[in-house]
Amino acid sequence: AQSVAQPEDQVNVAEGNPLTVKCTYSVSGNPYLFWYVQYPNRGLQFLLKYITGDNLVKGSYGFEAEFNKSQTSFHLKKPSALVSDSALYFCAVLDSGTYKYIFGTGTRLKVLA
Amino acid sequence: DTAVSQTPKYLVTQMGNDKSIKCEQNLGHDTMYWYKQDSKKFLKIMFSYNNKELIINETVPNRFSPKSPDKAHLNLHINSLELGDSAVYFCASSQEMGVSPLHFGNGTRLTVT
């Protein structure tokens, strides 16, 4: 069965510092991986995806993610965090057999001024 | 111009009542979904429709019935509401089933008293 794990419930980072939000996956077959962000009282917003190709994927709002096949990871990164980046971040994998997205449990990012 | 809009935003009702949530997307997408987010922010697929055809029907109680009158609309009707149905329900759409990103509405917070 496909799954993703987000090992950290919360990540705190100072404004201007680089941030990393971790995600590991378990899939049979090719992994189709996504990151979404959720601001309070809003729906999830798509940030970026990895389907195939370059391991470094660039997305919205200056975010990027690195696909690492050997470590089965897809960590979300940003070189310089903003207070406005504070939100709930979800990693997801698409089960290509059933077309179901399986979401991680979410990581709350708090960027401190 | 909201891409995926759902109404109402808040729904407070008593146990045993029947209620509906409406969803409309103006993105021209072929696929629409209902997700449930519980109090711990865990997100789970309930249903998906592709071109008005039911594709995913997760193990949800029969009290939940989706209806897609056309490609742009996917409504959710809930009979005999229970306390455990309290959650935030998100409608989403994607261009097609598969690796297309999901576009979420802002959610309907259902509270059953």
Q: How far apart are CA A76 and CA A82, in angstroms?
A: 15
- Regions of chain A short of the pLDDT cut 70: none
Number of neighbouring beta carbons within 10 Å of residue B52: 15
| Res A37: pLDDT | 98
Candidates A10, A101, A105, A107: best to mutate against B (most CBs of B within 10 A) is A101
Interchain CB distance below 8 Å, A99 and B55: yes
| Res A28: pLDDT | 87
- Chain A interface includes B60 (CB < 8 A): no
Number of neighbouring beta carbons within 10 Å of residue B105: 26
| Res B57: pLDDT | 84
Q: B64 near B46, Cβ under 8 Å?
A: yes
Residues of B in contact with A100 (CB under 8 A): 45, 56
> pLDDT category, B55, cuts 50, 70, 90?
confident
- Walk me through the domains of chain B, giving residue ranges and CATH numbers: 4-112 (2.60.40.10)
| Res A26: pLDDT | 94
Contacts of A35 (CB under 8 A, 6+ apart): A21, A23, A46, A47, A48, A49, A59, A63, A65, A74, A76, A89, A90, A91, A92
> pLDDT category, B58, cuts 50, 70, 90?
confident
> pLDDT category, B102, cuts 50, 70, 90?
very high
- Walk me through the domains of chain A, giving residue ranges and CATH numbers: 3-108 (2.60.40.10)
How many Cβ contacts (< 8 angstroms) between chains A and B?
51
Q: Which two tokens stand for residue A81?
A: 């965090």
Interchain CB distance below 8 Å, B104 and A43: yes
- Chain A interface includes B103 (CB < 8 A): yes
pLDDT at residue B2 is higher than 70: no
Q: Which two tokens stand for residue B69?
A: 């009158």
